[in-house]
Amino acid sequence: MPANFTEQRIKKIFKIAESNVKEKIDLILLKNGTEPHLDLSFFYITGLEAGLFEGCALASYPDGETRVYTSKLEEQSALKGKDRFQVITFKDRDHLAKMLKKDLARSSNGFSIGINSNELTHKNFEDLKKLYPKAKFVDVSSAIVMARMVKDDQEIAAIKQAAQIASKAFPKLLDFLKDGITEYKVSAFLNATMQDLGAQGPSFDTIVAFGENSAEPHYSPRDVKLRKGYFALFDYGAKFRRYCSDITRTVVYGKASKQQREIYQIVREANQLGIDASRVGVKAGEIHQKVSRFIDTTKYKGRFIHSTGHTVGLAVHDGAVIHPAFKGTIEENMVFTIEPGIYIPGLGGVRIEDDIVIRKNKAEVLTTAPKELIEV
């Protein structure tokens, strides 16, 4: 099989996995359930942009050889990657089980099979144990997470395009705002606008929060109407070639009060501080501590209530957080968010979020929507 990104990504996972678990792994087997229980690493390895692949499987070997087991429903989508992996079509679940047992028969006799326990349902795991009763199953999920955190050029290009689509939607959003418009309507407008600009769709459920609702970081839009003097917070992202972006901008509808300006300026400075602190070799926890300590030097101590960011990729939360809870070190070509915020119950909140990719000497900001305080 010629060198390609499928082969490269598989070899990367095996290298990390064998370093982590300290034992030989003979193959990695991924098994999809039904939506939403699909293993995004199936798409990371294959690079397939179309298709759902419910109930499908993937087997990869240390030399990069990969076999994709697909239903007839997804066969044409799978064949788009036939230059990178072998495509094997099954008729139904029983047929798939028979083929897996036959094709991977050697794995049932003391071989080690790597599984992605983060994404494998209990039912699918029990089925695999019945197929391979003598195999040793090894959890390689942490290796898969680590491999996916450091992006290749193809992944970065897709995320950059997703970030540009989301950024271009922002000025269109501002023009759409008016007295009495609901969070629901603005959310729908944002989603449609991103698709008009080339997105597959939103990368997660769009957050539109007016007034005191903006103090809830993971708020869900309702029929709340926009009024003068409200904070209006928009947290949204585009999906492009399965890869996600994630951006947050906060504006004031009408004239900003002194307190609103003060809060906004602190968050704006914290956002830049986090971006400037994001460098190769820095621990993720150190970035968060710089941002949170800065906010805590102000009168809004304790009102920054979440991590400074998270990795972004095929999933909008792609495996790690920019927080001391993640013990890892920042590496070149990691992509993650910087999103400090201040949240005041009863008043509202400000969050400013950017997607960045780590280069050799600095962080490149992928989201380009303006960040100065905007009074609409």
Side-chain-facing half-sphere of 143: CA atoms under 13 Å: 22
Identify the CATH number of the domain defined by range 153-365: 3.90.230.10
Under 8 Å between Cβ of 186 and 176: yes
SS3 of the chain: the string is: CCCCHHHHHHHHHHHHHHHHHCCCCCEEEEECCCCCCCCHHHHHHHCCCCCCCCCCEEEECCCCCEEEEEEHHHHHHHHHHCCCCEEEEECCHHHHHHHHHHHCHHHHEEEEEEECCCCCCHHHHHHHHHHCCEEEEEECHHHHHHHHHECCHHHHHHHHHHHHHHHHHHHHHHHHCCCCCEHHHHHHHHHHHHHHCCCCEECCCCEEEEHHHHHCCCCCCCCCECCCCEEEEEEECEEECCEECCEEEEEEECCCCHHHHHHHHHHHHHHHHHHHHCCCCCEHHHHHHHHHHHHHCCCCCCCCCCCCEEECCCCCCCCCEECCCCCCECCCCEEEEECCEEEECCCEEEECEEEEEECCCCEEECCCCCCCCCEC
8 A C-beta contact, residue 84 and residue 6: yes
Alpha-carbon span 58 to 30, nearest angstrom: 5
- pLDDT score for 1: 36
Looking at residue 331, its pLDDT comes to: 97
CATH topology of domain 5-149: Creatine Amidinohydrolase; Chain A, domain 1 (3.40.350)
pLDDT by 10s per residue, the chain, length 376: 345 899 999 999 999 998 887 778 999 999 999 999 999 999 999 999 999 999 999 999 999 999 999 999 999 999 999 999 999 999 999 999 999 988 876 554 568 999 999 999 999 999 999 999 988 999 999 999 999 999 999 999 999 999 999 999 999 999 999 999 999 999 999 999 999 999 999 999 999 999 999 999 999 999 999 999 999 999 999 999 999 999 999 999 999 999 999 999 999 999 999 999 999 999 999 999 999 999 999 999 999 999 999 999 999 999 999 999 999 999 999 999 999 999 999 999 999 999 999 999 899 999 999 999 999 9
Q: What is the pLDDT of residue 109?
A: 52
CB-CB contact of 31 with 69 (8 Å): no
State the pLDDT at residue 137. Answer: 94
Nearest alpha-carbon partner for 246 in 278, 284, 286, 207? 207
Q: Specify the amino acid at residue 13.
A: I
pLDDT of 21 reads 77
pLDDT at residue 3, as a whole number: 53
Q: How far apart are CA 241 and CA 40, in angstroms?
A: 13
b/e map 343-358, b = 16+ CB within 10 Å: bbeebbbbbbbbbbbb
CA pair distance 357, 351, nearest whole angstrom: 20
Where do the structural domains in the chain lie, given as residue ranges? 5-149, 153-365
Q: Angle at which helices 153-176 and 183-196 pack, to 10 degrees?
A: 130
Spatial distance between the Cα atoms of 35 and 187, rounded to a whole number of angstroms: 24
Query: Which residue do the tokens 């697909």 mark?
Result: 70
Q: What is the pLDDT of residue 2?
A: 42
